[in-house]
């Protein structure tokens, strides 16, 4: 066990070092200007001098970037082939979510806000947005980016892996749930608890596994759930879970958990085959 743990620590340390070195090299080469300008007003970024924007980009370890109406970059790429183009605001899935639920009178919980790009998109439609993330640096970057876009959502650090005893801070009409479930070590309990604080519906976009990949299983409330064991890099990496592994569930089990917690109408919008595996976008709501 100790040898395995030491190997894991060494691997993660090496991975972090390579990432940081690559980011430094890319940061020198990536241009500030010349991108396709944003079609939306970004007045608190537009008003910055180039030197101020460069300073802002260097102050935080950004892993994605957006563009102002002059085609200037706010943020940074993650690495060579990860988030290496400007993020679109609003994301197409948020437009679909608004078409489905009409966010104009809704409170949306943004689960796993990352660096605030989706949070900003939600703020453009919803009455109220609350954004949470397990990493404090993501909370800081979300607050900064949202403020530069003129939005002030409620943003706080919260590990969604934990089963909440008090759900008052998480109460919302809808959940925007993108790119989080497949990083959890106990996704079943998380799904089963969503019904305690989400009143109306969920937009869920996540990886899942298929039968041949689900070689392990675990029990929740006396029921067995098959899963694929997926190695994570742990608490320090921006694109990984908070623990050493995550469990990728079968799609049928994801749907059954959503129905069990009260979201009895589930519609699969699209399935995609991506670099890391199968992925689904679905809507779940109470009828």
8 A C-beta contact, residue 61 and residue 164: no
Question: Are 60 and 128 found together in one domain?
Answer: no
Is residue 84 included in any domain, yes or no?
no
Peptide bond into 90 cis (omega under 30): yes
Which pLDDT score, from 0 to 100, does residue 184 have? 97
How many domains are contained in the chain? 2
Among the candidates 75, 101, 116, a domain finishes at 75
Is residue 17 included in any domain, yes or no?
yes
Neighbours of 257 (CB within 10 A): 24
Is residue 191 included in any domain, yes or no?
yes
Which pLDDT score, from 0 to 100, does residue 17 have? 60
The two three-digit tokens of residue 109, written as one number: 């919980």
The two three-digit tokens of residue 284, written as one number: 């779940």
Is residue 86 included in any domain, yes or no?
no
Q: Range of 100's domain?
A: 92-285
CATH number at residue 146: 3.40.50.150
The answer on pLDDT for 11 being more than 70 is no
Query: What band does 187 get if pLDDT is binned at 50, 70 and 90?
Result: very high
Lowest-confidence pick of 76-90, 160-174, 233-247, 253-267: 233-247
pLDDT tens by residue, 18-43: 666 666 666 667 899 999 999 887 88
Question: Are 53 and 168 found together in one domain?
Answer: no
Torsion-angle region of 234 (φ positive above 0: left; ψ -120 to 50: alpha; else: beta): left
Is residue 81 included in any domain, yes or no?
no
Mean pLDDT of 239-266: 95
Mean pLDDT of 86-95: 97
The answer on pLDDT for 151 being more than 80 is yes
Residue closest to 205 by CA, chosen among 178, 176, 174: 178
Evaluated on CA atoms 247, 248, 253, 258, the torsion sign reads positive
Is residue 65 included in any domain, yes or no?
yes
Contacts with 216 (C-beta within 8 Å, 6 or more apart), sequence order: 226, 227, 228, 229, 247
Is residue 83 included in any domain, yes or no?
no
Question: Are 258 and 134 found together in one domain?
Answer: yes
Compute the mean pLDDT over every residue in the chain, rounded to the nearest whole number.
Answer: 91
Query: How far is 278 from 210, CA to CA, in rounded Å?
Result: 8
Question: Are 226 and 134 found together in one domain?
Answer: yes
In the three-class reduction of DSSP (H, G, I as helix; E, B as strand; rest coil), residue 215 is classed as coil
């Amino acid at each position: 066990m100790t040898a395995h743990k030491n190997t894991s620590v060494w691997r993660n340390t090496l991975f972090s070092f390579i990432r940081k070195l690559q980011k430094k090299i890319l940061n020198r080469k990536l241009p500030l200007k010349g991108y396709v300008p944003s079609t939306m007003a970004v007045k608190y970024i537009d008003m910055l001098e180039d030197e101020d924007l460069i300073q802002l980009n260097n102050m935080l370890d950004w892993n994605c970037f957006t563009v102002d109406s002059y085609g200037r970059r706010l943020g940074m790429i993650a690495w060579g082939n990860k988030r290496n183009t400007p993020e679109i605001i609003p994301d197409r899935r948020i437009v679909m979510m608004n078409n489905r639920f009409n966010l104009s009178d809704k409170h949306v919980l943004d689960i796993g806000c990352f660096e605030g790009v989706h949070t900003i998109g939600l703020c453009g439609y919803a009455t109220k947005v609350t954004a949470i993330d397990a990493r404090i640096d993501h909370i800081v970057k979300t607050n900064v980016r949202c403020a530069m876009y003129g939005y002030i959502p409620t943003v706080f650090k919260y590990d969604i892996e934990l089963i909440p005893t008090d759900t008052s801070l998480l109460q919302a009409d809808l959940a925007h749930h993108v790119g989080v479930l497949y990083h959890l070590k106990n996704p079943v309990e998380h799904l089963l608890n969503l019904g305690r604080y989400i009143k109306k519906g969920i937009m869920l976009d996540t990886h899942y596994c298929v039968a041949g990949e689900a070689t392990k299983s675990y029990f929740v409330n006396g029921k067995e759930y098959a899963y694929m064991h997926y190695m994570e890099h742990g608490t320090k990496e921006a694109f990984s879970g908070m623990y050493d592994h995550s469990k990728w569930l079968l799609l049928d089990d994801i749907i059954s958990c959503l129905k069990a917690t009260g979201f009895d109408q589930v519609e699969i919008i699209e399935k995609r085959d991506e670099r890391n595996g199968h992925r689904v976008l679905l809507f779940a709501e109470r009828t």
